[in-house]
Amino acid sequence: MAKRILPIPDALNPFKGKKQRIMNYNPATGIADRKPVAEVKITVFDFKDNHCEEVKLQDVKELLHYATTPETSWINIDGIRKEEIHTICTGFGIHYLLEEDILNVGQRAKMDEMGDHLFCVLPMIYFNKLSCTIEQEQVSIVLGKNFVLSFQEDSHRDVFDPIREKLHINGSRIRLAFADYLCYTLLDLIVDSYFTVLDKLGERIELMEDVVQHEANNRTLARINLLRRELLLFRRAISPVRELVNGFLKSESPLLDERTMKYYKDVFDHIVHCNDLTDNYKDMVFNLQEQYHTQLNLKMNEVMKVLAVVTTLMAPLTVIAGIYGMNFDNMPELHSPNGYFTTIAIMVVILIIMIILFKKRGWF
């Protein structure tokens, strides 16, 4: 059964409209253009081995006492607004440079160790099935002695639901561990979500391999270019995450327990594997472009072959018609009563003989 060819949306068709996207942003020279959010949602998970309390707060000042509690706390902030972020960073003693990194958009994935905190910022990536594009959300994570702060831009989606479920399970590993293990779990889920996006991109690549074989046209080229651009954006986003995780492995901070380092090593292996897969997919997309041009050349060769055969078949007939089309009075066949029919018959015989010869030679 033939696979169903999915059309490219008109909004993504470069021949129907020009789509503009910000390919890069330099926070050192650019201005943070963050859209204001209507509200900031704060969720706190305060837990230890025998209990877990989930609290939703409206006022940021209510969470400041979690900076000194003996239990481990995961504080997730959905929605970035300058006033609330400044209050939180001041209350938890977070350096103002890290506060700027949280507020700035388009940050390159990185890890910083400043004072009594470990800080990292990295993209959370989703695949939009409707537009077949990737979407990014910047996530900032601050690791303290007994707390982990996570800052998200979008309050409607994330990949942290498995952590929320495990925190409500008595005896789960995350409840028995400390804040550094919670930080690892957040990073691990984000990195694992990259493979989900890669699977979707891989499906699009496999689909395009079939499309190129049957529809090598401008529309197909537009879809290949769209896929190549999304893959390059994905690769640009996740490439620095490798150095981010490596920063945790190289850190000598007392916030990181030696027993937890093996888990960070596992995340490092995952992001290395993800980068390798991305490079493989990038090569596959480039091969798609070469395959597209090959199909175009094959089509052109077929057209030229047909034209050459037709021209060759018509050449002797054209010569005969040209000879008898000359205006001479002394041509012996000119006044023959059956001259017209004889000439047509000869031309048909010549045409049939040439077709048989071409068939035997396999020219068409």
279-306 pLDDT tens trace: 999 888 888 888 877 877 878 888 888 8
pLDDT at 179: 93
The CATH number assigned to the domain with range 299-361 reads 1.20.58.340
CA distances from 304 to 298, 307, 360 (A): 10, 5, 20
Query: What is the value of pTM for the model shown?
Result: 0.77
pLDDT at 332 over 90: no
> Which residues on adjacent β-strands are paired with residue 74?
45, 148
- Of the listed ranges 31-45, 58-72, 311-325, 340-354, the one predicted with least confidence: 31-45
Domain ranges for the chain: 10-21+39-295, 299-361
Q: Report pLDDT digits (tens) over 152-196.
A: 988 788 899 999 999 998 888 999 899 999 999 999 999 999 999
pLDDT at 34: 63
pLDDT at 353 over 80: yes
Q: Give the pLDDT mean for 14-32.
A: 43
Q: Is the dihedral of CA 86, 89, 94, 98 positive or negative?
A: negative
* CA pair distance 178, 71, nearest whole angstrom: 9
What kind of architecture, by CATH, is found in domain 10-21+39-295? 2-Layer Sandwich (3.30)
For the purposes of burial, counting CB atoms within 10 Å of the CB of 264, is it exposed (0-12), middle (13-18) or buried (19 or more)? buried
